[in-house]
Copies of this chain bind each other. A is one copy, B any other.
Amino acid sequence: MEVDEVVCLPRLSRVAVCGGTHGNELSGVYLVRELLKVKKGVMEKEEEQEEEEPLSVLKVLSNPRAMQQCRRYVDTDLNRCFTHIVSLSPSGLTSGTVPYEMIRSRELNAMLGPKGRSGAVDLVCDLHNTTANMGLCLIAYSDCDWICLHIFRHLQRKMPDIPMRYIHFEVSNKESYSLDSVGKHGFAMEIGPQPHGVARSTVYTAMKAGVQHMLDWVCFFNSGTLFEGESVDVFTMIKHIDYPRDSETRNITAAVHPHLQDRDFCPLHPEDPLFQTFSGETLRYKGNEPLYPFFINECAYYEKGIALSLARKRRVVIPTIRVQTEQEQAAHVQELASEEEE
């Protein structure tokens, strides 16, 4: 047998767990509140075992004002505010006319970033809920972030009873818009179905377990564990489909078809039922190839004009990884510093 090449990656010293980025997605709100209470409790057990260089876990309630009003956002969607976060001047953002979430995104960038720089936290795990029947998903911008993909495989193995998928939004680093893009690595942990504004105990428990296993993995990784390469199914987002709408009023005129509702990640074939109009007519999928639907009938996407998203499923081979040795890490830091100077 050949020995595969081992990819050596920098230590993950600072991890951020964020909840309430959308103020009405309650699992993350209550989980982060709980983690903030537990100063030296279960979630940081590993930290105490690791005597040198403990793992720093930042627990962040991202959008307190939206949380207080139990709304997704106050002025604008916070999780779309991080695209050009670096190029914005701080001085222009103190007046009362600036959307609250623009100001808050700068605070979060100062806390967890700066995005794209060496000072940023190593990993951002941003907690979300969806009304769609998606189980637990990690959503990331990369299909070659070995840290995110290995964490995903770890969670899949540790939580075999929960349907779990890795969703890849093919967006360049420059165009990435979400809070998790502020970290060196990052993903959204999305769990559903759960109505926004509601906390279901099973969903909360799944999220708590997911976060615990993620932190465990980081500790294993930092302590030198070798993670074997393997292959992983990745769902790459291809396009969105809007609801049928009245051409004048823009009101929707159909709901997701009962045959499609709740069937996230089951292949949708050409001519399969897609919508049922409010007068009872069935509208069919007119695409040319079978694709995998997800975010089917997500509440927050009505206003974004998305009834569902469609993905292509691919198998990605991920390499064996381990943490860099101290020597490798020192060389890496020097390399990064010289890049930033340029």
Contact = CB atoms under 8 A, between A and B. Distances in A.
Interface of A: 30-31, 33-34, 70, 131, 193, 195-202, 204-205, 251-252, 255-258, 261, 276, 278-280, 297, 299-300, 302-303
B34 A201 contact: no
Given A195-B195, A195-B299, A34 B278 contact: yes
Contact of A297 (B200, B205, B297, B302): B200
**Lowest 3 A-B CB distances belong to which pairs?**
A195-B195, A201-B255, A197-B299
A202 B258 CA distance: 6
Contacts of A251: 33
17 contacts: A33-B278, A34-B278, A70-B302, A131-B195, A131-B197, A193-B195, A195-B198, A197-B300, A198-B297, A198-B302, A199-B255, A199-B297, A201-B255, A201-B256, A201-B257, A202-B258, A204-B278
Contacts of A280: 205
Contact of A202 (B205, B261, B278, B300): B261
Query: Which of A131, A205, A278, A297 is most buried by chain B, counting CB atoms within 10 A of its CB?
Result: A278
B299 A198 contact: yes
Nearest to A34: B278
A252 B199 contact: yes
Nearest to A243: B199
Given A33-B278, A201-B258, 13 more contacts: A30-B252, A30-B255, A30-B278, A131-B197, A131-B198, A193-B195, A195-B195, A197-B300, A197-B302, A198-B297, A201-B257, A205-B258, A205-B276
Nearest to A297: B198
A307 B257 CA distance: 31
Contact of A261 (B200, B261, B300): B200
A86 B198 CA distance: 36
Contacts of A303: 70
Query: Which of A33, A198, A202, A279 is most buried by chain B, counting CB atoms within 10 A of its CB?
Result: A198
A201 B195 CA distance: 16
A212 to B, nearest CB: 12
A34 B279 contact: yes
Contacts of A31: 278
A280 B201 CA distance: 10
